[in-house]
Amino acid sequence: MTAAAEGRKRDTLAIGAVRRNFAPWADPAAVPLIRFEKVTKRFGEATAVEDLSLDIYEREFFCLLGPSGCGKTTLMRILAGFEEPTSGRVTLAGRDLIGVPPYRRPANMMFQSYALFPHMSVEKNIAFGLEQEKLPKGEIAARVAEMLRLVQLEPFARRRPDQLSGGQRQRVALARALAKRPKVLLLDEPLDALDKKLREETQFELMDLQVKLGMTFLVVTHDQEEAMTMADRIAVMDRGRIVQVATPGEIYEQPATRYVAEFIGDVNILEGRIGQGEGGRWHIAAPEAPRGLLVDGGGDGVAPGRQVAVALRPEKLRLLQDEPAPGTPNVLAGEVWDIGYLGDWTIYLVKLASGRTIRVSRANATRFVERPITWEDKVFVTFAPEAGVILTR
Ligand SMILES: Nc1ncnc2c1ncn2[C@@H]1O[C@H](COP(=O)(O)OP(=O)(O)OP(=O)(O)O)[C@@H](O)[C@H]1O
Ligand SMILES: [Mg+2]
């Protein structure tokens, strides 16, 4: 590892340590910086954002996640002042933003289709906003240099946008948006055009910068892994509404709905009907599990007779070659249908008698296994009661 990379790694670890105690949303006394209250935005007949309420806190790294057309860009444009909501209120630090023009708002937006000034060099593009603000020349030069370093474009400072690749242009747009150090930075798919490696590096750089400059970030990404890596909290959207707002860990481990469970990461869903309760757990009759299921918890609306879905993450399932003792619940019998070897993990697709396939992932912690599981093996998929999440919606 180079000294620079070593330094970056240390910085990144330090961020984790700082951020561990950051949870203003859990503090009833904390006042949100940005507040959407019952915001609706219609374009003619179409509703892009519907009755949406959301609080974002100062210094938060907040990600919006959701399928194409669910209203992410519209929500950002409302905050930046490029759209007025049809109804509802948006406030920043307690101040009503409705009617305030974009350039008077302390929020800067980097657009999904960013427009660089074609006739200006990279450094001039980055400096543009700072010159508008009439910052001292020395300060402008220092910030431009810092930004060029950040996005690794120092050698390209004198080039024009048409002399750059798509990914490089995107980094210029990112640098330009960051250079002004707005209180709130809105980034609409900022890393979209970058290749995987640069994208991952830039994710950590962004997190680092956000902490160092004390900025509040609202970021749209279609990449759920990216959201999980960067965000303090994630909002999952569906057709103009927010389905769940929570930390990445909560979104993954305690999805509120089937939609969220299926949107974030891989998941197996078993349908079933709630039976008897037993010490905080529920027996569930599921056609695909002849011995029945026994699953922890369950939120509102879980009651005997209720039709539910049980969400099971692939890494929480175990694969056995020997049949579990009679009477054990949570056993799915099947046959290994396919195996995907990913190096660190192996994914097994197990076909049940119903014809459904279940995904099971296993960490390859040892190099040699005595009885490797292979294609067409009869296997048993089992899991602990706490591995499942009961979903009523
Ligand atoms: N100016 C407009 N006029 C009419 N409809 C619009 C306008 N802007 C957005 N919409 C519609 O509003 C909905 C939400 O659009 P938006 O751009 O916010 O989606 P998005 O979540 O950002 O999607 P993507 O991930 O594809 O960027 C879409 O159905 C879109 O067609
Ligand atoms: Mg968009």
Tens digits of residue pLDDT in 64-122: 999 999 999 999 999 999 999 999 999 999 999 988 888 888 777 777 666 789 999 99
Write the Ramachandran bin of 321: left for phi over 0, alpha for psi from -120 to 50, otherwise beta.
alpha
pLDDT of residue 162 exceeding 50: yes
Q: How far is CA 173 from CA 52, 105, 200, 301, in A?
A: 29, 19, 18, 47
Nearest residue (by CA) to ligand 1, atom 4, is 43
DSSP 317: -
Indicate the pLDDT class of residue 378, thresholds 50, 70 and 90. very high
**Pairing assessment for the beta strands 107-110 and 95-96 based on DSSP bridges:** unpaired
DSSP 324: P
On average, the pLDDT of the chain sits at: 89
Q: Which residue has the higher pLDDT, 107 or 174?
A: 174
| Range list of H helices, the chain | 3-19, 72-80, 122-132, 137-150, 166-179, 196-213, 224-230, 248-253, 258-263
Task: Give me ligand 1 centre to Cα 111, in Å.
Answer: 13
**Ligand lying closest to the C-alpha of residue 66:** 1
Q: What is the pLDDT of residue 166?
A: 80
- Mean pLDDT over 6-15 rounds to 46
Those residues with Cβ within 8 angstroms of residue 172's Cβ, 6 or more apart along the chain or in another chain: 116, 122, 125, 126, 151, 153, 161, 164
Task: Give me ligand 2 centre to Cα 113, in Å.
Answer: 9
Those residues with Cβ within 8 angstroms of residue 213's Cβ, 6 or more apart along the chain or in another chain: 181
**Pairwise CA distance, residues 347 & 271, whole Å:** 22
pLDDT of residue 333 exceeding 60: yes
Task: Give me ligand 1 centre to Cα 268, in Å.
Answer: 31
Three-state secondary-structure class, residue 138: helix
Task: Give me ligand 2 centre to Cα 216, in Å.
Answer: 20
Ligand 1 atom at shortest distance from the alpha carbon of 67: 25
Closest Cα to residue 82, out of 168, 155, 186?
186
Nearest residue (by CA) to ligand 1, atom 5, is 43
Pocket test for ligand 1, best of 42, 74, 186, 224 (most atoms within 8 A of CB): 74
Ligand 1 atom at shortest distance from the alpha carbon of 112: 27
Task: Give me ligand 1 centre to Cα 258, in Å.
Answer: 24
Angle between helix axes 3-19 and 196-213 (nearest 10 degrees) is 50
Ligand 1 atom at shortest distance from the alpha carbon of 44: 4
Sign of torsion over alpha carbons 100, 103, 107, 113:
positive
Which tokens go with 367? 């190099």
Ligand 1 atom at shortest distance from the alpha carbon of 66: 21
pLDDT of residue 3 exceeding 50: no
**Pairing assessment for the beta strands 331-341 and 345-352 based on DSSP bridges:** antiparallel
Nearest residue (by CA) to ligand 1, atom 19, is 69
Q: Following DSSP, what letter does each residue of 237-255 receive, concatenated? A: EETTEEEEEE-HHHHHHS-
Name the CA dihedral angle for 159, 137, 146, 156, rounded to a multiple of 10 degrees. Answer: 10
**Pairwise CA distance, residues 275 & 196, whole Å:** 47
Which tokens go with 335? 């046959």
Q: What is the pLDDT of residue 20?
A: 63
Closest Cα to residue 361, out of 345, 339, 375, 377?
345
**Pairwise CA distance, residues 338 & 367, whole Å:** 20
Name the CA dihedral angle for 102, 107, 109, 115, rounded to a multiple of 10 degrees. Answer: 50
Model confidence pLDDT, tens digit, residues 274-328: 999 988 899 999 999 999 999 998 777 898 999 999 999 999 999 999 999 988 9
**Pairwise CA distance, residues 179 & 172, whole Å:** 10
Nearest residue (by CA) to ligand 1, atom 7, is 43
**Which domains are seen in the chain, by residue range?**
3-106+182-258 (3.40.50.300), 267-391 (2.40.50.140)
**Pairwise CA distance, residues 147 & 381, whole Å:** 51
**Pairing assessment for the beta strands 378-382 and 233-238 based on DSSP bridges:** unpaired
Q: What is the pLDDT of residue 7?
A: 46
Q: What is the pLDDT of residue 19?
A: 61
Residue 72 in contact with residue 36, Cβ under 8 Å? no
By the 10 Å C-beta count (0-12 exposed, 13-18 middle, 19+ buried), 94 is classed as exposed
Model confidence pLDDT, tens digit, residues 203-220: 888 888 888 888 899 999
Model confidence pLDDT, tens digit, residues 26-51: 999 999 999 999 999 999 999 999 99
Indicate the pLDDT class of residue 222, thresholds 50, 70 and 90. confident
Nearest residue (by CA) to ligand 1, atom 24, is 68
Model confidence pLDDT, tens digit, residues 226-264: 899 999 999 999 999 999 999 999 999 999 999 999 998
Nearest residue (by CA) to ligand 1, atom 1, is 43
Q: What is the pLDDT of residue 112?
A: 63
Q: Which residue has the higher pLDDT, 202 or 360?
A: 360
Indicate the pLDDT class of residue 9, thresholds 50, 70 and 90. very low
Task: Give me ligand 2 centre to Cα 74, in Å.
Answer: 7
Q: What is the pLDDT of residue 17?
A: 44
**Ligand lying closest to the C-alpha of residue 237:** 1
Give percent of the chain with pLDDT exceeding 90: 63
Pocket test for ligand 1, best of 43, 113, 220, 223 (most atoms within 8 A of CB): 43
Angle between helix axes 122-132 and 137-150 (nearest 10 degrees) is 130
Task: Name every protein residue with a CB atom under 6 angstroms from any ligand 1 atom.
Answer: 43, 46, 48, 66, 68-74, 112, 222
Task: Give me ligand 2 centre to Cα 234, in Å.
Answer: 16
Ligand 1 atom at shortest distance from the alpha carbon of 71: 18
